[in-house]
């Protein structure tokens, strides 16, 4: 039995994490086994890498090349330790970011060679690719506003990515636009400026045709690392 792999993408403050939680809740109520993950992270090793990439006070000198390799080290572990077994057991895997983020953030944002970026991604994930990707888009001004609001509330938790300037996030947006244009059948763009409920309904409309039959006696269990929002 093969499961379903769906990824959620978008710049900071796009609301994708909220939508993952809502979708997972809805699927579990119907009896689907759901595995909710985040990147970087999702495994004990990945969470250590996540801290180094995002929250450590000692990562100021991290180079784009080191960032690319660390991100994909976390991803390689996640794919083999969690995603592949979950899919093999018939679970629905919902992941907050995956390889499209690396193209957008490290390829376009950090301006690394795109062919090199894709080569590293290919090595990390192999044939494990999402069947469908939801890309949440918000205007740069709104993204900045939401980032500032989040930083005010979570001032005790540093996020190195959110410290980047506007030009970085503009390049990230260009990267996401390029990825979406290259794979329109896989990537669905959603306007993330709408209400949470309206976006949730749109997500459900997109996901419903992809769903397999509910497994007999499905308990709506959740395996793997839980996404911390």
Residue 152 lies in a domain: yes
Cβ count within 10 A of residue 123 = 11
What pLDDT shows up at residue 13?
80
Q: One digit per residue, pLDDT tens: the chain, 229 residues? A: 589 999 999 988 888 999 999 999 999 999 999 999 999 999 999 999 999 999 999 999 999 999 999 999 999 999 999 999 999 999 999 999 999 999 999 999 999 999 999 999 999 999 999 999 999 998 877 667 766 666 666 655 788 888 888 899 999 999 999 999 999 999 999 999 999 999 999 999 999 999 998 877 665 555 544 443 3
Instruction: Using the structure block, give the residue that is written with the tokens 């679970």.
Output: 91
Residue 21 lies in a domain: yes
What pLDDT shows up at residue 73?
98
Quick one: how far is CA 26 from the chain centroid? 19
Residue 225 lies in a domain: no
Residue 219 lies in a domain: no
The SS3 assignment for 5 reads strand
What pLDDT shows up at residue 153?
64
Nearest CA to 43 out of 16, 79, 19 is that of 79
**How many separate domains does the chain show?**
1
Residue 226 lies in a domain: no
Residue 195 lies in a domain: yes
Residue 218 lies in a domain: no
Q: What CATH number did the domain enclosing 129 receive?
A: 3.40.50.300
**pTM confidence score:** 0.91
For residue 48 the two structure tokens come to 């250590």
Biggest CA–CA distance in the chain, Å, is: 52
- Contact criterion met (CB below 8 Å) for 96 and 38: yes
Beta strands at 4-10 and 92-96: parallel, antiparallel or unpaired: parallel
Nearest CA to 117 out of 79, 129, 128, 109 is that of 109
Residue 166 lies in a domain: yes
Q: Which residues contact 130 (CB under 8 A, 6 or more apart)?
A: 5, 6, 7, 95, 98, 186
Domain limits at 62?
A: 4-209
- Contact criterion met (CB below 8 Å) for 33 and 221: yes
Q: What span, in angstroms and rounded, lies between the C-alpha atoms of 144 and 166?
A: 8
């Amino acid at each position: 039995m093969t499961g379903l792999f769906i990824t959620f993408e978008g710049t900071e403050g796009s609301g994708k994490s909220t939508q993952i939680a809502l979708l997972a809740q809805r699927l579990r109520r119907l009896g689907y086994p759901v595995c909710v993950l985040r990147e970087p992270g999702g495994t004990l090793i990945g969470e250590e890498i996540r801290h180094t990439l995002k929250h450590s006070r000692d990562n100021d000198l991290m180079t784009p090349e080191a960032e690319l390799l660390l991100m994909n080290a976390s991803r390689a572990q996640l794919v083999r330790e969690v995603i592949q077994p979950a899919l093999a057991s018939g679970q629905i895997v919902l992941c907050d970011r995956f390889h499209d983020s690396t193209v957008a953030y490290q390829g376009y944002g950090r301006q690394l060679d795109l062919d090199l970026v894709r080569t590293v991604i290919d090595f990390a994930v192999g044939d494990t690719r999402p069947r469908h990707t939801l890309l949440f888009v918000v205007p740069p001004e709104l993204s900045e506003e939401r980032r500032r609001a989040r930083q005010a509330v979570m001032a005790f938790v540093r996020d190195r990515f959110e410290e980047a300037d506007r030009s970085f996030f503009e390049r990230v947006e260009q990267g996401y636009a390029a990825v979406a244009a290259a794979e329109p059948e896989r990537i669905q763009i959603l306007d993330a400026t709408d209400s949470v409920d309206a976006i949730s309904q749109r997500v459900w409309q997109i996901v419903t045709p992809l769903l397999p039959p509910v497994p007999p006696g499905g308990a709506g269990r959740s395996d793997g690392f839980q996404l911390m929002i």
